[in-house]
Structure 1
């Protein structure tokens, strides 16, 4: 079984051979972020695939935010490059949940929280504890929190 990190390294080698500058630079930066995460802390360690996915998700989010900032600043060329880099990284992440699927999962969690005695806007923490493990890596925290607030309020 190949790890996600080794897949990234193999894809980097292919991108370099194909002289795909955008893909190779994106994968290099991502592998550097993974290495930085591995050596952070008191002792160097090997990251699991889940941890590598979190690093990739963080890098993809940075690209989306940078693209928005470039668009607002009127720098369309840089915004397009950031979007393209984000698309490359998204290919290594699990399929994101659609709005309907997310609402369904959150609705179930709200029912579970109500059964446990938590109700109203104060139940947000209880619902998030139930939802987060179910959607880990497949939906951003802000998106999940917005749906939880919406369902708890309505």
Structure 2
């Protein structure tokens, strides 16, 4: 028996949403699966995406929805903003729980201590700390939030 991949889960959930006549969920999952398929055929050769790569696509789609909702709200298009937020809610069910500020600060502190043990201090350690944290944190915090936390810690 083979393991179920994230992509298989998305397909299965799409089928369930269609049968339940859940328009929002089925439309959102179709968009996500289209983005996954586009990613698979991008480049010179087609490839199957790993769960981690599918998770990256999900993160990108979630970020697009959040930015679009903000833009629509700013333009006074509340109905469109609500639709984007609803789509974001569907996508977020597939993403891991985000790190709390305390958890993020703790991970950043550990990485900064490790970098200082290697002789890297101040803003010169930024790249080393970020490259150490990225794989650990993965989809649980976006890059902007992570870099802000690292920058704040290194400036202290």
TM-score, shorter chain, exceeding 0.5 = yes
TM-score (norm 1): 0.98
Aligned partner of 2:15 in structure 1 is 13
| SS of 1:19 mapped into structure 2 | coil
Aligned partner of 2:83 in structure 1 is 81
Aligned partner of 1:59 in structure 2 is 61
Matched, 1:3 2:15: no
- Following TM superposition, by how much is the alpha carbon of 1:130 offset from its aligned partner in structure 2, in angstroms? 1.3
Aligned partner of 1:22 in structure 2 is 24
Uncovered stretches (5+) of structure 1, i.e. residues with no partner: none
Aligned partner of 2:104 in structure 1 is 102
Give the aligned length.
154
- 1:14-54 deviations in Å (ceiling 9; x for gaps): 11111111111000000000000000111111111110010
- Following TM superposition, by how much is the alpha carbon of 1:129 offset from its aligned partner in structure 2, in angstroms? 1.3
Aligned partner of 1:141 in structure 2 is 143
Aligned partner of 1:152 in structure 2 is 154
- 1:71-116 deviations in Å (ceiling 9; x for gaps): 1111111111101100100101111111110000000000001110
- Following TM superposition, by how much is the alpha carbon of 1:3 offset from its aligned partner in structure 2, in angstroms? 0.7
| SS of 1:137 mapped into structure 2 | helix
Uncovered stretches (5+) of structure 2, i.e. residues with no partner: none
Q: Distance in 1 between matches of 2:67 and 2:27?
A: 18
RMSD of the TM alignment (CA)?
0.7
Q: Distance in 1 between matches of 2:155 and 2:77?
A: 39
